[in-house]
Structure 1
Amino acid sequence: MKQTALAFALAASLATPLAAAPAPRVSIQTINQLAQPLPLPYHEGANADRDVAAARARAKATHKKLLIDLGGNWCPDCRVLAGIMELPEVRRFVAQHYEVVTVDVGRFDRNGQIPAHYGITGRLKGVPSLLIVDPRNDKLINEGRTAALADARSMTPQALADWLAQWA
């Protein structure tokens, strides 16, 4: 009986990420308060393989997590997330805990090798898709939750910051 309870507790703890740091308190209440125009964070001509490898090396050296932001400038939810991440309090938090790299996925027809490397094959479930990676072993930490912010427009700025904090 004790083993079953212990196994259940262990499984529950593994299913839910541990928050390493409290989320920053976001200074705005709604996404309508974001500065306009919203950022265009993805670069079509970038070498995604090189950029991800460099960000992973920086993350490993600085003992941070690697955050790979897969999306496209055509995507309003991607741009909302980028706007939230540019808020000073969120930018400080992200810089403290993550090395961020953006990867343009076009219209789901570009740079598919990046998510495939982490076991995500086929079409992404939505964008933005965020891959939180442990740079020491190059393993995806947020498996099954990569597209959680694909509806960023319907979330509060604080909810977006809270999601980022849960993996820090």
Structure 2
Amino acid sequence: MRRALIASILLFASPAFAAPAPHMPITSFEQLTKPLPLPYDEQADAKAVVAAAKARAKANHKLLLIDLGGNWCLDCRILAGTMEVPALKTWLARKYEIVEVDVGRFDKNLDIPAHYGITERLKGVPSLLIVEPRTDRLINAGRTAALADARSMSPQGLADWLAGWVR
């Protein structure tokens, strides 16, 4: 019942004009390659990495997806593992320029979300900032923490949410 509620919420949390997500060949996170990825470089210069990704996104006419999280977070690692599934990875590479930003224990690199108007404590991780790089506008305002409970969804549900922002 909880999954159905979350699926309903996410259906209405994504724009109706979305591009279709690829079909996910897995139905459970148990099928993800183990160990799950540790996607966040804790030593990276977040401002420089985001600026470079934004420039690539703009040049390649893609959206910028800034994944805020920490390697300690199971939901962050599940999201990263799901995004590595070949069908989704290929689709994402065509639509998004993706950059991972380590936020520590909600005490690091918080100037990145602040740049997009998120000045209060993050509501959870992963928090995804989906940015239109030509205008530097956050297009999923109010929905950045929708995947903070990623493990309660399905791999297809994650793919559908990510596709929901692409025109």
Q: TM-score, normalised by structure 1?
A: 0.89
Which of 47, 62, 81 is matched with 1:83 structurally? 81
1:73 is matched with 71
Would the aligned equivalents of 1:70 and 1:103 in 2 still touch at CA under 8 Å? yes
- Alignment of structure 1 residues 128-147 onto 2, 5 Å: 128-147=126-145
1:120 is matched with 118
Unaligned runs of 5+ in 1: 1-14
2:93 is matched with 95
- Give the Cα–Cα distance (whole angstroms) in 2 for the partners of residues 140 and 51 of structure 1: 17
Unaligned runs of 5+ in 2: 1-12
Residue 18 of structure 1 and its aligned partner are, at CA, apart by 4.0
- Give the Cα–Cα distance (whole angstroms) in 2 for the partners of residues 114 and 46 of structure 1: 13
1:23 is matched with 21
Residue 131 of structure 1 and its aligned partner are, at CA, apart by 0.2
Say if 1:80 and 1:16 are closer, same or farther in 2 by CA, change over 3 A. Answer: closer
2:159 is matched with 161
The structure with the larger Rg is: 1
Residue 122 of structure 1 and its aligned partner are, at CA, apart by 1.9
Query: Helix, strand or coil: the match of 1:133?
Result: strand
1:4 is matched with none
Q: TM-score, normalised by structure 2?
A: 0.90
Residue 20 of structure 1 and its aligned partner are, at CA, apart by 4.1
- Alignment of structure 1 residues 27-42 onto 2, 5 Å: 27-42=25-40
Percent identity between matched residues is 69
Give 2:133's aligned amino acid: P
Say if 1:38 and 1:45 are closer, same or farther in 2 by CA, change over 3 A. Answer: same
- Give the Cα–Cα distance (whole angstroms) in 1 for the partners of residues 14 and 90 of structure 2: 25
Would the aligned equivalents of 2:64 and 2:97 in 1 still touch at CA under 8 Å? yes
- Give the Cα–Cα distance (whole angstroms) in 2 for the partners of residues 19 and 53 of structure 1: 28
- Give the Cα–Cα distance (whole angstroms) in 2 for the partners of residues 69 and 122 of structure 1: 17
2:58 is matched with 60
Query: Helix, strand or coil: the match of 1:167?
Result: coil
CA deviations on 1:115-153 (whole Å, 9 max, x unpaired) are 000000121000000000000000000000000000001
Would the aligned equivalents of 1:19 and 1:165 in 2 still touch at CA under 8 Å? no
Would the aligned equivalents of 1:71 and 1:106 in 2 still touch at CA under 8 Å? yes
- Give the Cα–Cα distance (whole angstroms) in 1 for the partners of residues 78 and 14 of structure 2: 25
